[in-house]
Chains A and B, each alone.
Chain A
Amino acid sequence: MKFMSRYQVKIGNLNVIIDDSVLYTNSDEWIKVEGKNARIGITDFAQKQLKDIVGVDLPKKDSNISKNGTLAVLESVKATAEVYSPIDGKVVETNERLLDEPELINKEPYDNGWIAVIEMNNFNKEEFLTHNQYVENISKRK
């Protein structure tokens, strides 16, 4: 599951990888639409802030989740962070590999570090940031 196009931007002293084939939220999740489903993870910028992720609480499969509800909890050495669902829907798949290898989120945030797949109740592209808008968003934060 490799995405097509990646580039790097410098945010403060961080080299942040941006994937131009996904959409973003201002709470640092990415979302990739796959038919009626959406695959969700956290951005490279987010994992670089958290560093050393040592644990992940995944949502229950088949559970319903609402937009901005807690999808997962990430335990990093630095802090405990919640991942918010960018959409309403039902959790149809979770990345069980993360239970033993949470560091995959640090190593491959856009690939094997994905968190869950949600079957979307609806989808409105306008609610999300494009990769350009996301870069602008995180540039203002530092």
Chain B
Amino acid sequence: MYNVPLHDLHQKLNASFGEFAGWNVPMIYSSTMEEHVAVRKSVGIFDISHMGRLKITGKDSLNLLEKAFTKKISKTKENFMSGPTLALNEYARVIDDEMWYKINDEEWLAVPNAATRERMINHFKQISEKNKYNVEIKDLTFDYVLLALQGPESQNIMDKLGASWTSGLKPLEFRLNENIRDSNVFLISRSGWTGEDGFEIWATPKDAEKLYNYILKEGVKPIGIAARDTLRIEMGFVLGGNEYGEDPLKYPCALSLKYGMGAIDWEKTGYIGEESLRSCRKEGLRWIRIGIEMKKNFARFIPRHGYKILIDDIEVGWVTSGTYSPILEKGIGMGYIDTRYSIVGEPITISDGKGRSGEAKISEFPLIKKK
């Protein structure tokens, strides 16, 4: 199991650690709920160095990316991230959802999920070999720390660190080789996975440690990976292994994810999984992803991964992720339901399959309504 480079620092901050996709990550510092609220109401700092960092260079870079993803990567502007998109297998099941950072047509970066980093590297290599692409795929995961400053106060913190120029960064825009105080930042982008304003920063362990300490000195709370999960559930963001995966017997077609955000471009052709994805569209979906909100009397029931979704005692779907939302003050989650029953607002029952159940309703994403 890998430790993140700043492991000792997190230990000093009294983090409790847990395993995530082969990494020993700081899960909780104080309390997941307190950390969650800090990110929603003010600001927090994550160390997400367990995520992958890849670089693709060479004259066929764009050809490779177009072959692997469901949206037109060529539309990405320089110094911007592509927005989320999906890498599919031949069954139109999702290998990974990721964004690509365009430095120029022949130089791209990405942050694949921790669990699928190696799978994506192999996937890219296979595509490149098959098509005789001229590309180089480099794994930078162990070269940089990845920090995420997230929350409505993120810009204020940047201002305090003397980096008020970052206010000029549009959502998904990034800069390379900047300095924040005496810390060299390889990449800084206006992005995140919490639904809040914020920045993601790549820096060498030495530079990242300095920056992390400066950020803490501004009173920013360290936030664990457990809160990252509860925050993404509120937003309805999907996670590999929960909402998607490659096995067609375990996971529905990628279209069932109802991913949104322009992740799938129907104008686009020639990518892996296209044929199966188009037949999902043509034949109609058996399953569709829905949001789940517990009813008032069951507000403290958490719908968990693997629980059943029932209507009139008939099993009509399953829960893929769930948590307690300290913002909505109730159990929330998401899951797949037979499309015939997918009506927002309709009552459903969530059952653990062992006799414990709670009443809920079908809800839309995001589960928290942003101003």
Closest chain A CB from B6 CB (angstroms): 17
Given the interface pairs A77-B226, A77-B323, A78-B226, the reply to whether A52 lies near B304 with Cβ below 8 Å is no
Interface residues on B, range: 10 to 19
Interface stretch, picked from B26-34, B180-188, B254-262, B276-284, is B26-34
Q: List A residues 8-24 near B (Cβ within 8 Å).
A: 13-14
With beta carbons under 8 angstroms apart, the residue of A14, A51, A75, A78 that contacts B300 is: A75
Separation in Å of the B355 CB from the closest CB of chain A? Answer: 10
Smallest beta-carbon distance A65→chain B, Å: 16
| A56 adjacent to chain B (CB < 8 Å) | yes
A55 contact from B11, B16, B301, Cβ within 8 A: B301
Q: Mark B318-358, 1 if CB is under 8 A from A, else 0.
A: 00000110000001000000000000000000001000100
Per-position binary interface string of chain A over residues 21-57, scored 1 when its CB falls under 8 Å from any chain B CB and 0 otherwise: 0000000000000000000000000000001101111
* Beta-carbon contact of A55 and B302 below 8 Å: yes
Asked whether any CB of chain A lies closer than 8 Å to the CB of B230, the reply is: yes
- Distance A18 CA – B144 CA, assembled complex (angstroms): 42
- Give complex CA distance A106, B33 in Å: 12
User: In the complex, what residues of A have CB within 8 A of residue B33's CB?
Assistant: 52, 54, 77
CB–CB A51/B32 < 8 A: yes
A14, A55, A106: which contacts B324 (Cβ < 8 A)?
A55
* B1-44 at interface with A (beta carbon < 8 Å): 11, 14, 16, 28, 31-33
Contact of A73 among B11, B14, B299, B356 (CB under 8 A): B356
Q: Tell me the count of chain A residues lying within 8 A, CB to CB, of chain B.
A: 16
> Bound state CA distance, A99 and B31, in angstroms?
20
> Which B residues lie within 8 Å of A54 (CB)?
33, 300, 302, 324
Bound-complex Cα distance A99 to B296 (A) = 13
- The residues in A between 51 and 107 inclusive whose CB is less than 8 angstroms from any CB of B are 51-52, 54-57, 73, 75, 77-78, 80, 99, 102, 106
Residues of chain B with a CB closer than 8 A to A14's CB:
16
Query: How far is B33's CA from A72's CA once the two chains are assembled, in angstroms?
Result: 22
Residues from chain B with a CB closer than 8 A to the CB of A106 are: 31
Q: Are A77 and B230 in contact (CB under 8 A)?
A: yes
For chain B residues 114-152, which have a beta carbon within 8 Å of chain A?
A: none
Would you give the shortest CB distance from B150 to chain A, in whole angstroms? Answer: 18
Nearest-CB residue, chain A, relative to B299: A55
| A75 touching B31 in the complex, CB below 8 Å, given contacts A13-B16, A54-B324 | no
Contacts of A77 in B (CB 8 A): 32-33, 226, 230, 302, 323-324
Which residue of chain A lies nearest to B15 when distances are taken between CB atoms in the complex?
A13
- Expressed in whole angstroms, the minimum distance between the Cβ of B89 and any Cβ of chain A is 32
Q: Collect the chain B residues with CB atoms within 8 Å of residue A99's CB.
A: 300
14 new A-B contacts at CB < 8 Å, known A14-B16, A77-B230, A78-B32: A13-B16, A51-B16, A51-B28, A51-B32, A54-B33, A54-B324, A55-B301, A57-B356, A75-B301, A77-B302, A77-B323, A80-B302, A80-B356, A106-B31
Please list 24 pairs of residues, one from A and one from B, whose beta carbons are closer than 8 Å in the complex, sorted by A's number. A13-B14, A51-B16, A51-B28, A51-B32, A52-B31, A52-B324, A54-B324, A55-B300, A55-B302, A75-B301, A75-B302, A75-B324, A77-B32, A77-B226, A77-B230, A77-B302, A77-B323, A77-B324, A78-B32, A80-B302, A80-B352, A80-B356, A99-B300, A106-B31
